[in-house]
Structure 1
Amino acid sequence: MSFRLAAYAVSVENDRVLLVRCVNTHSEDQWSLPGGAVEHCEDPFDAVVREVAEETGCTGEVERLLGVDSRVVPADERHLSELGPHQNVGVFYQVRITGEPRPEPNGATIDPVWTPLADVAGLRRSSLVDVGLALFAERPPTGHVAAVPVGGLVQH
């Protein structure tokens, strides 16, 4: 089983959320929250600030920890099913953004866009968008929401 620890920014202002489009070599592009893998010896808090800067060109200020999501993707649902199941542990932070978003130069994400919350359901998006928005909306004291269903337009 493969494993990934990642940190994600949930930035909501004026009923809009900041999303980035992920360029996928193995499937269609999809929308996601700014964020990504925590590097070796890096604190997730620092990783989310770094990822926001890399993917959006903006400064991110962490306002609070929203929660943690641990999800196992079965092998038969992965694009690289021959590698077996995959566990992703995502640390979600509420992040205030300053600056105007710009595309990541030579990166895996493009088109950082402030997206109306009402439009998110119609997007081809990563399941982590739904998890992050659920954590933002509920702000559970335990930092954990019930499993967010994956289906329809939602992708792993």
Structure 2
Amino acid sequence: MSFRLAAYAVCLDHDRVLLAHYRGAHWTLPGGKVEHGEDPYDTVIREVHEETGCDGEVGRLLGVDSRVIPAAEALAGAPHQNVGVFYLVRITGGTLRPEANGETAASVWTPLPAVAGLPRSGLVDVGLSLARDRPLTGHVAPVAVGGLVRH
């Protein structure tokens, strides 16, 4: 089984959330892999800047999500575990732009009611649930995958 530790930003502005669109794929939260020896706190700020062109600051830890993607649904064809650390991040500057030489084709402030109609990663639903409910445990129930929601 492969394993990935990642950090994700939930960036909210009133009734909008900042989403990143992967080239030819779905919408997701800005974020990505924690490099060896890197703190997830630093990762989320780095990833927000790399993927969106914006600067941000962490407001608070929202929670942690761990999911195993079955081999039949994993891109590599083998079971994969993703552990995501979710932070509430406030955008402090910069200009939205595509990721330079990267996988993020666009970043867009999206009205919260419109999110349900987008093809998106389940990470979006997890992050929004953590931000909305702020569970004391920092954990929410698994998100069902299917329809517009992907791993």
Task: State the TM-score, normalizing by the size of structure 1.
Answer: 0.93
What stretches of structure 1 move > 3 A for 4+ residues in a row?
Answer: none
1:114 deviates by: 0.1
Distance (whole Å) between structure 2 residues aligned to residue 37 and residue 92 of structure 1:
12
Residue 79 (structure 1) shift: 2.7
User: Cα offset for 1:77?
Assistant: 1.2
Pairing partner for 2:71 from 69, 75, 89:
75
Distance 1:19 1:73 in 2: 22
Pick the structure with more helix per residue.
Answer: 1
Question: What do the CA deviations read for 1:14-45 (whole angstroms, capped 9, x no partner)?
Answer: 2000001012xxxx411010000000000000
5 Å matches for 1:5-154?
Answer: 5-23=5-23, 28-81=24-77, 84-99=78-93, 100-154=95-149
Is the partner of 1:55 in helix, strand or coil? helix
Q: Distance in 2 between matches of 1:98 and 1:31?
A: 22
CA distance in 2, matches of 1:61, 1:112: 17
Secondary structure at the aligned position of 1:101 is classed as coil
Cα deviation for residue 98 of structure 1 reads 2.1
**1:60-80, Cα deviation, whole Å (9 max, x unpaired):** 100000000000000011232
**Unaligned stretches of 5+ in structure 2?**
none
Q: Supply the distance in 1 between the matched residues of 2:86 and 2:14 (Cα, whole angstroms).
A: 20
TM-score, length of structure 2 as denominator length: 0.96
Q: How many residues align structurally?
A: 150
Q: Quick one: distance in 2 between partners of 1:76 and 1:55?
A: 28
Residues 118-150 of structure 1 show CA distances to partners (whole Å, capped at 9, x for unaligned) of 000111111100110010111001100111222
Comparing 33-42 with 143-152, which one deviates more in the overlay?
A: 143-152
Could you give the per-residue CA deviations for residues 78-113 of structure 1, whole angstroms, max 9, x where no partner exists? 2321xx200000000000002231111111112110
Aligned partners of 1:75, 1:104: CA distance in 2, in Å? 29
CA–CA separation in structure 1 for the residues paired with 2:4 and 2:57:
23
User: Which whole-Å CA distance do the structure 1 matches of 2:130 and 2:11 have between them?
Assistant: 12
